[in-house]
Amino acid sequence: MNESMLWIVGAGVALVLVAAAVTALRRKTPPLGGPWPVYAKRLLGEREQVLYWRLVAAFPKHVVLAQVSLSQLLGVQKGTTNRQAVANRFRQLCADFVICDRSFTTVGVVELDGLSHDHPRRAEADLRKAQALQAAGLPIVRINVADLPDEAVLRAMIPI
């Protein structure tokens, strides 16, 4: 075989391999029209629920939201160089609890920390979250899951 024939055969083999890979990937992806392999999850765990209801009781004239994406809480100022890069630093992060006034203006953020927050990756995400919230002027309070405060202590910790 000459060189051009070898190139044609090689290109044909490559096309067959690419087609096989695409077919394999399509098999792993559920069809859009078929059933999705998902289930409903509970939004808050037991300790989170305890803190949620204590926050609601401690701040009856406020709205308490749970599991709010920081991309809903924060925006990047227009004119900022690399706005998307700045937004990407907090886009995947979520606030455990957000306290709002009746106009849904955020007045405080409460983070519930457990053992997972000792992991270096979690600690780095917590630091980014705190820096972003503080840069926006939003107060953040961290509470340890092992020592949930009562309503009176929450009011003292979160001066609204």
b/e 27-42 (16+ beta carbons within 10 angstroms → b): eeeeeeeeeeeeeeee
Compute the residue count for the chain.
Answer: 160
Q: Which residue has the tokens 């270096």?
A: 120
Residues 6+ apart with CB under 8 A from 141: 108, 109, 110, 111, 157, 158
Q: Any bridge partners for residue 140, and if so which?
A: 109
- Dump strand ranges (E) for 2-151: 63-69, 94-100, 106-113, 140-144
Q: What is the pLDDT along the chain (160 residues), one digit of tens a residue?
A: 566 655 665 555 556 565 666 666 666 655 678 888 999 999 999 999 999 999 999 999 999 999 999 999 999 989 899 989 888 888 889 999 999 999 999 999 999 998 665 667 778 999 999 999 999 999 999 999 999 999 999 999 998 8
pTM of the model: 0.74
Say if CB 64 and CB 97 are below 8 A apart: yes
Going by C-beta distance under 8 Å and a sequence separation of 6 or more, which residues neighbour residue 160? 59, 62, 99, 107, 108
